[in-house]
């Protein structure tokens, strides 16, 4: 598995020094993800170079850099860890409690009036508490990124990241909830018990097939929106990317055969949304018989990997298996979206070299474009559930906002999230959610 490696390298400040370092990196088959000059001291410069590499490649690379006459490896940067130090989120007051009068209003004795008002009319909680802008981000850590079952505690950095993105991109308060429970029925009971604190529930990194039971049961039981982001957030952004990739490759989704490789949470979510929008034929491959049965029940056509690659015009892969799709499997003119992170089923460059008309991976197609606006739109509309109309509205908005040469727009463009919010809220009202 490739992970970010951030090296600190000192080089002589003269022509060709940096080029020789980059030449060694290129010889090792590595691509520079980020390059920054940290400081210059007289005749030397210290560079911070970010690479994505297998851990086994590290010792050889470091040895080759140290062997250069004009460079010296200083060590590894802790930039990523430093940005996580102390956590990425915190709770802050919306009021400046600068006087005893304000203190008595927001706490005792004034708060009692608001408590009694909500007791008599529970709908007032949406106006006089933060519940209507607060989302629980719940995980049991059984399917974190492409890392698998690493436990709830190890999943906390991802949950904090989701909360930080909700705050910065949609103005919502996301609260990470770690649950040490793998049994779907008990997990449902725990989440349902804490649900009154929140306006919506975002399920995150819960492994299939249990994630389907958890979401379905909570959606039927709770009167607030519940969304498993690995299914539906991924599906929304994938649908937007598929539409634009097909356009750029000259293939219309309504006339194409789609292949879904991997029928876990993300794969089922993508297939279900595409089928709901009238995609005529979707082939699906997975080694798990239960996954194939769920797919068939949706209206998909189970197949093996070889058949998917032989017949599909657009291939979407969400297996978590690096290198699963071999270049020899790619047909000329196919669209290949290998979405597993951190390592795709096939590198886009390899797919293009094998004849694909268009190829992309999960670095560029990320559900951060979907979930902030999905939740804000649902909450602003007072929706009690997510509907397919809301998901499709988000997908179409994301697709429409991409530039002519991009699959999806910039995820840090706040205007995109505002537009998704508006589209989701309208769809919620129109669909009666």
Q: Which fold has domain 130-224?
A: Rossmann fold (3.40.50)
Is 130-224's fold the same as 230-433's? yes
Q: Which fold has domain 3-84?
A: Alpha-Beta Plaits (3.30.70)
> What is the pLDDT averaged over residues 180-189?
97
Question: From CA 285, how far away is CA 338, in angstroms rounded?
Answer: 14
> What is the pLDDT averaged over residues 346-372?
92
Q: In the chain, helix, strand, coil percent, each to 5?
A: 50, 20, 35
pLDDT confidence band for 4 (50 / 70 / 90):
confident
375, burial (CB in 10 Å: exposed 0-12, middle 13-18, buried 19+): buried
Q: Which fold has domain 230-433?
A: Rossmann fold (3.40.50)
Residue 377 has pLDDT above 90, yes or no: yes
Delimit the domains of the chain by residue range.
Answer: 3-84, 130-224, 230-433
Question: From CA 240, how far away is CA 319, in angstroms rounded?
Answer: 20
Question: From CA 194, how far away is CA 136, in angstroms rounded?
Answer: 9
73-77 contacts: CB < 8 A, separation 24 or more? 73/7, 73/8, 73/9, 73/10, 74/8, 74/9, 74/10, 74/46, 75/7, 75/8, 76/5, 76/6, 76/7, 76/8, 77/6, 77/7, 77/8, 77/48
Provide the mean pLDDT of the chain.
Answer: 92
Peptide bond between residue 109 and the one before it cis (omega within 30 degrees of 0):
yes
> What is the pLDDT averaged over residues 13-30?
91
Q: What is the pLDDT of residues 144-162, one digit of tens each?
A: 887 889 999 999 999 999 9
Strands 281-285, 257-261: pairing is parallel
What 3-state DSSP class applies to 139? strand
Question: From CA 15, how far away is CA 6, in angstroms rounded?
Answer: 23
Question: Looking at the annotation, which residues are catalytic?
Answer: 107, 162
Residue 72 has pLDDT above 80, yes or no: yes
Whether the CB-CB separation of 237 and 372 falls below 8 Å is answered with no
Residue 118 has pLDDT above 90, yes or no: yes
The reported pLDDT for the residue numbered 370 is 95
Question: From CA 282, how far away is CA 296, in angstroms rounded?
Answer: 10
In this structure, what DSSP letter does residue 405 have? T
Least confident of 53-67, 253-267, 274-288, 406-420: 53-67
The reported pLDDT for the residue numbered 1 is 66
Question: From CA 404, how far away is CA 299, in angstroms rounded?
Answer: 32
Q: What is the pLDDT of residues 261-297, one digit of tens each?
A: 999 999 999 999 999 888 889 999 999 999 999 999 9
Check residues 371 and 4 and name the one with the higher pLDDT: 371
Residue 245 has pLDDT above 90, yes or no: no
The reported pLDDT for the residue numbered 388 is 93
Residue 3 has pLDDT above 80, yes or no: no
Residue 423 has pLDDT above 70, yes or no: yes
To the nearest 10 degrees (0 to 180), the angle between helices 229-249 and 210-221 is 110
The reported pLDDT for the residue numbered 241 is 92
> What is the pLDDT averaged over residues 51-65?
83
Residue 192 has pLDDT above 80, yes or no: yes
Task: For residue 283, give the nearest of 296, 273, 293 by alpha carbon.
Answer: 296
Q: What is the pTM of this model?
A: 0.86
Structure tokens at 139: 């995980």
- 311-340 residues labelled b (16+ CB within 10 A) or e (exposed): ebbbbbbbbbbbebbeeebbbeebbbbbbb
Question: From CA 219, how far away is CA 386, in angstroms rounded?
Answer: 9
Percentage of the chain beyond pLDDT 70 is: 100
Peptide bond between residue 133 and the one before it cis (omega within 30 degrees of 0):
no
Whether the CB-CB separation of 206 and 180 falls below 8 Å is answered with no
Helix ranges restricted to H, 171-281? 184-194, 210-221, 229-249, 265-276
Task: For residue 12, give the nearest of 41, 48, 49, 50 by alpha carbon.
Answer: 41
> What is the pLDDT averaged over residues 391-407?
92
């Amino acid at each position: 598995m490739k992970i970010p490696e951030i090296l600190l390298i000192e080089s002589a400040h003269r022509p060709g020094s940096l080029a020789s370092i980059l030449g060694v990196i290129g010889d090792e088959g590595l691509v520079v993800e980020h390059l920054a000059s940290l400081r210059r001291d007289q005749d030397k410069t210290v560079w911070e170079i970010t690479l994505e590499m297998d851990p086994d490649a590290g010792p050889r690379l470091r040895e080759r850099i140290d062997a250069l006459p004009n460079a010296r490896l200083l060590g590894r940067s802790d930039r990523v860890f430093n940005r996580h130090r102390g956590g990425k989120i915190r709770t802050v007051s919306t009021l400046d409690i600068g006087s005893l009068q304000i203190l008595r209003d927001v706490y005792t004795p004034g708060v009692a009036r608001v408590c009694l008002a909500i007791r008599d009319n529970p709908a007032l909680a949406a106006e006089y508490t933060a519940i209507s802008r607060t989302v629980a981000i719940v995980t049991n850590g059984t399917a974190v990124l492409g890392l698998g079952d690493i436990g709830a505690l190890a999943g906390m950095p991802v949950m904090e990241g989701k909360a930080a993105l909700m705050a910065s991109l949609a103005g919502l308060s996301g609260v990470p909830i770690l649950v040490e429970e793998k049994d779907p029925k008990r997990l449902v009971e725990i989440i349902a018990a804490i649900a009154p604190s929140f306006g919506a529930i975002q399920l995150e990194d819960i492994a299939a097939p249990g994630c389907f039971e958890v979401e379905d049961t909570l959606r039927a039981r709770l009167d607030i929106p519940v969304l498993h982001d690995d299914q539906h957030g991924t599906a929304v952004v994938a649908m937007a990317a598929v539409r634009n990739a097909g356009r750029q490759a000259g293939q219309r989704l309504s006339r194409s055969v789609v292949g879904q490789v991997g029928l876990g949470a993300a794969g089922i979510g993508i297939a279900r949304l595409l089928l709901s929008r009238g995609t005529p034929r979707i082939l699906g491959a997975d080694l798990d018989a239960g996954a194939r049965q769920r797919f068939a029940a949706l209206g998909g056509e189970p197949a093996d990997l070889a058949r998917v690659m032989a017949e599909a015009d657009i291939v979407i892969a969400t297996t978590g298996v690096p290198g699963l799709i071999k270049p020899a499997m790619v047909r000329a003119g196919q669209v290949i979206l290998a979405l597993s992170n951190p390592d795709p089923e096939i590198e886009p460059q390899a797919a293009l070299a094998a004849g694909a008309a268009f190829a992309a991976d999960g670095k560029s197609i990320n559900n951060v474009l979907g979930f902030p606006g999905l939740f804000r739109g649902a909450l602003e509309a007072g929706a009690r559930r997510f509907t397919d109309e809301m998901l499709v509205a988000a997908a179409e908005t994301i697709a429409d906002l991409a530039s002519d040469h991009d699959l999806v727009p910039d995820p840090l463009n706040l205007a995109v999230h505002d537009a998704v919010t508006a589209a989701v809220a309208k769809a919620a009202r129109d669909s009666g959610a």
